Amino acid sequence: MIKRRVPTCAIIGIGELAPVRYTDGATTLGMIAESVRLAVQDAGIDKDAIDGLLVGPQVGETPQHVPATVAEYLGLQPKMSNVVDLGGASGAGMLWRAAAAIEAGMCETVVCVLANTNERSGNPRSPNRNPIREFDVPFGASGANTSYALLKQRHMAEYGSTQEQFALIAHWARKNAQLNPNAIFYGKPLSVEEVLDSPFIIDPMHLYEIVMPVAGGAAFIVTSKDNLPSGGHPPVYLLGAGEKITHRAVSHSPALASAPLEYAISAAFAQANVSVQDMDLLSLYDCYTSVVGITLENTGICAPGQFGAWMKDHSFGHDGDWPLNTHGGQLGCGQADLAGGMSHIIEAVRQLRHEAQSRQISNARLSLVTGNGATLSEAAALVLGVES
């Protein structure tokens, strides 16, 4: 007799729009919003109770950052979000993923939504009903460089941080890259002065504070503790995780001290029952120097606005008191698109397996890994560790 699994999750609300032949003038985001409104009403809950979001890939108003765009439009700040792209199986696939996320402790209440328009004219779905295109792009805030420069400018204006303090981040990335033969900038160290002498791409962001796109790839395999292969490498365990989306457009971003990484990191530490002081490696997403400065503050390692003064008193190499991106990070090793962010996981695994060779951290046991999407909008944090 097969033992039935004890149910832990249930559907509590539904919403459905009546099918129509054409949706002239309608938008995918609008139809998503109405579907969610009906489901929330049916469930008898407050919209703010929703802390998880699963959505399909075909949202006509945005070609990327789909969960962030939908969350921003709905006024949600989910702790777990994802695109489920399984064609006709997407709805069914969403249900078990929502339950898995709830059981994993990532969130409590997930909305799963799919919608599409059908224009009589056959024209592509309009991209104009999208906050980033309405409030940012018309005023010149188009592209990552502009948006991350605005975040740096905001930090400098609010806290008095300096160009030299941000340049120090780029200097350390290149310095650590000199011990990584695979780094794109191996053999090319960089001084603070050279960062400051590099041209402005957009004020106040210098050329060497920005990742150089490269090609590359990365992968990792996960299995259960009961399914570990015998022999081979020591397993690196996921001890804690956190995730949060707060916005898509930089014009909608919260205070720097409340960036989504602040929640994600805190949640990962709480799940793992550790603190930043326990970390042997900080493997922090570093597409721009502004991201690293803000992330350091979000870890609680220093007060908001104080990353620059804090960095002056510490060392960030593999043999320093706070090893940071020992492979060089994206600024020193290179950003191979999305695989560039995965490099932070790969480096953490190498360090925890004690396979980092000349850049090996002594007795490394715990690492914080962060990921950042859109414009400091989509945040993920992990605590990885090995058995002592």
Q: Say yes or no: 122 and 191 in one domain.
A: no
DSSP H stretches of helix in the chain: 28-43, 66-74, 90-103, 131, 144-159, 163-177, 192-197, 260-272, 289-298, 307-312, 329-333, 338-352
What angle, 0 to 180 degrees and rounded to 10, lies between the N-to-C axes of helices 289-298 and 260-272? 50
Q: Do 238 and 102 have their domain in common?
A: no
CA distance 340 to 324: 16
136 part of a folded domain: no
Tell me the two tokens of residue 204.
């106040």
Predicted pLDDT at 209:
98
pLDDT, tens digit, for every residue of 199-255?
Answer: 999 999 999 999 998 998 888 888 888 888 888 899 999 999 999 999 888 888 888
> Residue 139: is its pLDDT beyond 80?
no
> Residue 148 is which amino acid?
Y
Q: Is 38 contained in some domain?
A: yes
| Positive or negative torsion for Cα 193, 196, 199, 201 | positive
Q: 240 and 381 share a domain?
A: yes
Please check whether residues 219 and 116 belong to one and the same domain: no
Return the higher-pLDDT residue of 19 and 278: 278
116 part of a folded domain: yes
The percentage of residues in the chain with a pLDDT greater than 70, rounded to a whole number, is 95
Task: Answer yes or no: do 178 and 324 share one domain.
Answer: yes
- Answer yes or no: do 103 and 158 share one domain: no
Decide if 4 is inside a domain.
Answer: no
Q: Is the peptide bond before 204 cis (omega within 30 degrees of 0)?
A: yes
Radius of gyration of the CA atoms of the chain, in A: 22
* Cβ pair 374, 68 in contact under 8 A: yes
The answer on 150 and 85 residing in a single domain is no
Q: How many CA atoms lie within 13 A of 218 on its CB side?
A: 19
| Closest to 380 measured CA to CA, from 363, 372, 257, 77 | 372
Q: Which of residues 3 and 50 earns the better pLDDT score? A: 50
282 and 375 share a domain? yes
Number of domain units in the chain: 2
Residue 197 lies in a domain: yes
Torsion, Cα of 47, 131, 298, 324 (10° steps) = 130
Which residue is it, tokens 């930043």? 276
**Whether 147 contacts 132, CB under 8 Å:** no
Judgement on whether residues 168 and 301 belong to the same structural domain of the protein: yes
Domain hosting 62: range is: 28-129
Query: Cβ distance 284 to 370 under 8 Å?
Result: yes
CB 118 within 8 A of CB 21: yes
My answer on whether 205 and 110 are in the same domain is: no
Tell me the CATH number at 87: 3.40.47.10
Residue 122 pLDDT = 61
Do 119 and 230 share a structural domain?
A: no
User: What is the rounded distance in angstroms from the CA atom of residue 363 to the CA atom of residue 353?
Assistant: 10
Same domain flag for 155 and 223 = yes
